[in-house]
Amino acid sequence: MATKTSLKINGLDDYIQALANAGEDINKISREALAEAGDILAAEMKRNVRVVTGERSRNLVDHIKIRVPSGEGDYNYREIGIIHRLEFTDAATAIQANAVEYGSVHNKAMPFVRPAIRSKKAAINALIKARLVAAGLADA
């Protein structure tokens, strides 16, 4: 019984060279597109979030933020929403946001993250593709 196999692909040299040449542009364009996408998602989350009243309640609108990681390497991303890092969100706000998004025994969920992702998914995909196409990095 075979436990290994060999695959051979010819013609990769030109492709790898093109990727290497374009590497810097791809990261720059990706980060710019992600920044635009992040703004869209954050705005939609803020539009969706319910203001919960009460003495100990936080206004979650003020806690919806965008975290931009250091721009090293080729892995580009943004964190958007209630950022689970103490420098962004205190524990009480994180607990409240979790209860608002997912509900509890007593309360229905009043989600603001999941609907934002669902409603803006197509627009964000189109935006990122348009930016890559405009930069000559993808086919229309």
Partner 1 sequence: MITIFERVSTALGSLSPAVPYAIAPYKSTGALPDVFIAYELISGNPEAHADNVETARTYLVQVSIFSRAGFIGLPDVDAAMLAQDFVKSDWRQLPQDPETFHYGLAKDYTFTEFF
Closer residue to partner 1, CB minimum distance, 7 or 105: 105
Question: Which DSSP string do the residues of the chain spell out, in sequence order?
Answer: -----------HHHHHHHHHHHHHHHHHHHHHHHHHHHHHHHHHHHHHPPPPPSTT---GGGG-EEE-----SS----EEES--STTT--HHHHHHHHHHHH--SSS----SSHHHHHHHHHHHHHHHHHHHHHTTSS--
Q: Shortest Cβ distance from residue 98 to partner 1 (Å)? A: 7
Q: In this complex, which beta carbon is closest to partner 1, that of residue 69 or of residue 103?
A: 103
Distance CA 122, CA 105 (A): 33
What is the closest distance, in whole angstroms, from the C-beta atom of residue 48 to partner 1 in the complex?
10
User: Residues 132, 135, 139, CA angle at the centre, nearest 5°?
Assistant: 55
Smallest gap from residue 122 Cβ to partner 1 (A): 8
The distance of closest approach from Cβ of residue 16 to partner 1 in the complex, given in angstroms and rounded to an integer, is 36
Nearer to partner 1, 29 or 60 (CB): 60
Q: Give the residues lining the site for partner 1 (CB under 8 A).
A: 95, 98-99, 102-109, 111, 114-115, 118-119
Closer to partner 1 at the Cβ: 28 or 114?
114
- Rounded to a whole number of angstroms, the minimum distance from the CB of residue 43 to partner 1 is 17
* Nearer of residues 109 and 126 to partner 1, judged by Cβ: 109
